[in-house]
């Protein structure tokens, strides 16, 4: 039996300047190291058939499944603030689209599948480490309830890639609501191809925002909708301590999913200025800068849409500014609501924002672990006898005591029982996140041919909100000697 992909492609039917038709370059000897079976089922694929030598060939690009129309998508982008008029999929190839069990159209893309007309310098390949990192973090984000691209499979290519050293090569199969980015709009806007911008906007509306199709000002409504999804997404990132690392406009998805996991990382101790990425020397994409950068990226999207707003450019700019003006409110509302939930508040009161901010301030000053502080605070909500576990996380435990007294007074005004409050807090404050030192350890083992630690980490992160005693050590922050201070793109 051959593997059947129920492709129903739409992007490949767009005008020829939207992409380059290019087939994956076969790899030497593909070996499947991970298949995401639940995701395969969700996409209408047969996991048993995929889990085979033929499946490994397909998931590495060595064999094309029937119905695939392989393309490399064109896009541009601002990288660290500098505009590059042509980037495009330089090492990724979209095989096609399928409709998942929820009726949502999903791209199936191979990453690391060989050069394309858009590869300028690189070899079109990916190393095992970054492939596993993306697999781990994207699936962890999914389990955390955050919009994200997903990972269907990781395949070893049987070839080496040359980076700073020789590394084992691999291919990731990425699944996304779409791979359309702010940079996709920029590609056509930079060429003053307004017809293409309109065509792309119509495609995006149909695919991601179908309710806007009959809107009187559909392109204005589109901008507003994308802003809404990005505001919500970035708030969610901050709630779990996620740092994307490379928030370039080409890494900003129009559908509102987290996309392009490169040097991303999670906070251990809370530090709003934290930067991990080795290429982010100016701290442009630091943890707390992410909302500001999202707005900057959305402003670049708005610029692309101006010709669709009005023939009168000044009018169009005024309209765009008005729409962009809603971002801070939308972001702040989502951010504050999430923070209230993190400290177990069921109601909203004056002073709540200050209460949360004072905790964050104490956490920053006390270098308290971000994830553990909130998780253990849930246990403290159940029983004040658990306070000790929280205060132990602070360099100056007295700072926590002072805050905890105010917090107890505030929650005492709400009717919920301690058990109810703990349950609500544990449902939003994960016990397990993909900690950087764990990811590094897993990659090191996998490069040395041991994928058991990878498998175990995937298992832990699949249920991030459940305390599981057998995995207790995975909740721990790194020991000083394990701490990861920098992450690398390592493409």
Tell me the catalytic residues.
250
Q: Please choose, out of 43-51, 82-90, 263-271, 376-384, the segment that lies near ligand AMP by the rule CB under 6 A.
A: 82-90
How far does Cα 372 stand from its chain's mean position?
A: 21
**Are 206 and 213 contacting, i.e. CB atoms less than 8 angstroms apart?**
yes
The least CB distance from residue 260 to Mg ion, in Å, is 4
State which residue, 55 or 77, has the beta carbon closest to Mg ion. Answer: 77
Single residue of 104, 423, 447, 489 touching ligand AMP by CB under 6 A: 489
Site for ligand AMP in 199-258 (CB under 6 A): 251
Single residue of 34, 42, 91, 179 touching ligand AMP by CB under 6 A: 91
The 10 Å Cβ neighbour count of residue 451 is 18
The least CB distance from residue 491 to Mg ion, in Å, is 9
Length of the chain as a residue count? 491
Burial 387-422 (b: 16+ CB within 10 A, else e): beebbebbeeeebbeebbeebeebbeeeebeeeebb
Q: Please choose, out of 56-64, 81-89, 152-160, 199-207, the segment that lies near ligand AMP by the rule CB under 6 A.
A: 81-89
What are the tokens at 191?
Answer: 């060429």
Q: Please choose, out of 9-17, 120-128, 199-207, 476-484, the segment that lies near ligand AMP by the rule CB under 6 A.
A: 120-128
Contact between 78 and ligand AMP by CB under 6 A: the answer reads: no
State which residue, 317 or 489, has the beta carbon closest to ligand AMP. Answer: 489
The entry of ligand AMP, Mg ion, none near residue 90 (CB within 5 to 8 angstroms by kind) is: ligand AMP
* C-alpha torsion sign, points 88, 42, 212, 15: positive
In the complex, which residue's CB is closest to ligand AMP? 122
Nearest-angstrom CA–CA distance, 171 and 113:
6
CA gyration radius, the chain = 23
Whole-angstrom CA distances from 50 to 39, 365, 418, 470 are 12, 50, 47, 31
Residues that bind Mg ion (CB under 5 A): 251, 260
Single residue of 129, 262, 378, 464 touching ligand AMP by CB under 6 A: 262
Contact between 125 and ligand AMP by CB under 6 A: the answer reads: yes
| Residues forming beta bridges with residue 62, ordered by sequence position | none
How far does Cα 32 stand from its chain's mean position?
A: 24
**Are 190 and 250 contacting, i.e. CB atoms less than 8 angstroms apart?**
no
- Phi and psi of 10, rounded to 5°? -120, -35
Helices (H), 69-152: 128-143
**Are 382 and 419 contacting, i.e. CB atoms less than 8 angstroms apart?**
yes
State which residue, 257 or 260, has the beta carbon closest to Mg ion. Answer: 260
State which residue, 122 or 397, has the beta carbon closest to Mg ion. Answer: 122
**Are 179 and 94 contacting, i.e. CB atoms less than 8 angstroms apart?**
yes
The least CB distance from residue 302 to Mg ion, in Å, is 21
Nearest-angstrom CA–CA distance, 61 and 55:
10
* C-alpha torsion sign, points 369, 375, 378, 383: negative
Contact between 89 and ligand AMP by CB under 6 A: the answer reads: yes
Q: Please choose, out of 88-96, 269-277, 428-436, 452-460, the segment that lies near ligand AMP by the rule CB under 6 A.
A: 88-96
Nearest-angstrom CA–CA distance, 211 and 206:
8
The least CB distance from residue 246 to Mg ion, in Å, is 7
State which residue, 25 or 491, has the beta carbon closest to ligand AMP. Answer: 491
Q: Please choose, out of 25-33, 116-124, 316-324, 358-366, the segment that lies near ligand AMP by the rule CB under 6 A.
A: 116-124
Measuring CA to CA, which residue among 474, 437, 477, 473 is closest to residue 458? 474
Contact between 123 and ligand AMP by CB under 6 A: the answer reads: yes
State which residue, 79 or 332, has the beta carbon closest to Mg ion. Answer: 79
The entry of ligand AMP, Mg ion, none near residue 397 (CB within 5 to 8 angstroms by kind) is: none
The least CB distance from residue 489 to ligand AMP, in Å, is 6
Contact between 290 and ligand AMP by CB under 6 A: the answer reads: no
The least CB distance from residue 131 to Mg ion, in Å, is 14
CA atoms within 13 A on the CB side of 121: 3
The entry of Mg ion, ligand AMP, none near residue 123 (CB within 5 to 8 angstroms by kind) is: ligand AMP
Nearest-angstrom CA–CA distance, 117 and 215:
37
State which residue, 9 or 119, has the beta carbon closest to ligand AMP. Answer: 119
The least CB distance from residue 51 to ligand AMP, in Å, is 27
The least CB distance from residue 357 to ligand AMP, in Å, is 33
State which residue, 171 or 377, has the beta carbon closest to Mg ion. Answer: 171
The entry of ligand AMP, Mg ion, none near residue 125 (CB within 5 to 8 angstroms by kind) is: ligand AMP
**Are 442 and 454 contacting, i.e. CB atoms less than 8 angstroms apart?**
yes
Contact between 369 and ligand AMP by CB under 6 A: the answer reads: no
State which residue, 89 or 232, has the beta carbon closest to Mg ion. Answer: 89
Q: Which residue in the block uniquely carries the two structure tokens 């084992």?
A: 168
The least CB distance from residue 7 to Mg ion, in Å, is 24
What are the tokens at 287?
Answer: 């943890």
- Interface contacts to ligand AMP, rule CB under 6 A: 87-91, 118-119, 122-125, 251, 260, 262, 489, 491
């Amino acid at each position: 039996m051959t593997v059947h992909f129920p492709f129903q492609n739409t992007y490949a039917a767009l005008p020829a300047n939207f992409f380059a038709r290019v087939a994956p370059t076969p790899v030497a000897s593909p070996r499947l190291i991970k298949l995401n079976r639940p995701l395969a089922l969700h996409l209408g694929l047969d996991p048993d058939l995929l889990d085979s030598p033929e499946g490994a060939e397909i998931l590495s690009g060595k064999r094309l499944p029937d119905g695939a129309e392989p393309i490399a998508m064109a896009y541009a982008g601002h990288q660290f603030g500098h505009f590059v008029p042509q980037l495009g999929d330089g090492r990724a190839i979209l095989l096609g689209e399928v409709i998942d069990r929820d009726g949502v159209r999903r791209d199936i893309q191979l990453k690391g599948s060989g050069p394309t007309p858009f590869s300028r310098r690189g070899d079109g390949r990916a190393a095992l480490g970054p492939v596993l990192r993306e697999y781990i973090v994207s699936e962890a984000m999914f389990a955390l309830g955050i919009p994200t691209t997903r990972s269907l499979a990781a395949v070893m290519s049987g070839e080496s890639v040359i980076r700073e050293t020789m590394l084992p090569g691999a291919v990731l199969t990425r699944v996304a609501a779409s791979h359309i980015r702010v940079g996709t709009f920029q590609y056509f806007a930079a060429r003053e191809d307004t017809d293409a911008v309109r065509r792309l906007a119509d495609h995006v509306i149909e695919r991601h925002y179908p309710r806007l199709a009959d809107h009187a000002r559909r392109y204005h409504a589109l901008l507003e909708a994308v802003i809404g999804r990005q505001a919500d997404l970035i708030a969610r990132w901050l709630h779990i301590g996620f740092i994307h690392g490379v928030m370039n406009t080409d890494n900003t998805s129009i559908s509102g999913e987290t996309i392009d996991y490169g040097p991303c990382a999670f906070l251990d101790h809370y530090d709003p200025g934290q930067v991990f990425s080795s290429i982010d020397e100016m701290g442009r994409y630091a943890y707390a800068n992410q909302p500001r950068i999202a707005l900057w990226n959305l402003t670049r999207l708005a610029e692309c849409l101006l010709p669709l707003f009005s023939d009168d450019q000044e009018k169009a700019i005024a309209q765009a500014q008005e729409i962009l003006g809603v971002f801070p409110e939308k972001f702040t509302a989502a951010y504050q609501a999430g923070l209230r939930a993190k400290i177990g508040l069921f109601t909203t009161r004056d002073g709540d924002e200050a209460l949360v901010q004072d905790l964050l301030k104490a956490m920053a000053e006390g270098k308290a672990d971000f994830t553990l502080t909130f998780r253990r605070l849930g246990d403290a909500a159940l029983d004040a006898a658990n306070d000790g576990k929280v205060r132990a996380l602070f360099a100056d435990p007295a700072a926590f005591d002072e805050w905890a007294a105010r917090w107890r007074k505030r929650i005492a005004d709400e009717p919920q029982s301690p058990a109810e409050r703990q349950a609500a807090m544990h449902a939003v404050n994960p016990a397990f996140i993909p900690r950087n030192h764990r990811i590094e350890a897993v990659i090191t083992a996998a490069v040395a041919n041991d994928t058991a630690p990878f498998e175990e980490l995937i298992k832990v992160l699949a249920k991030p909100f459940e305390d599981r005693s057998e995995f207790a050590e995975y909740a721990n922050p790194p020991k000083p000697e394990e701490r990861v201070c920098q992450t690398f793109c390592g493409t």
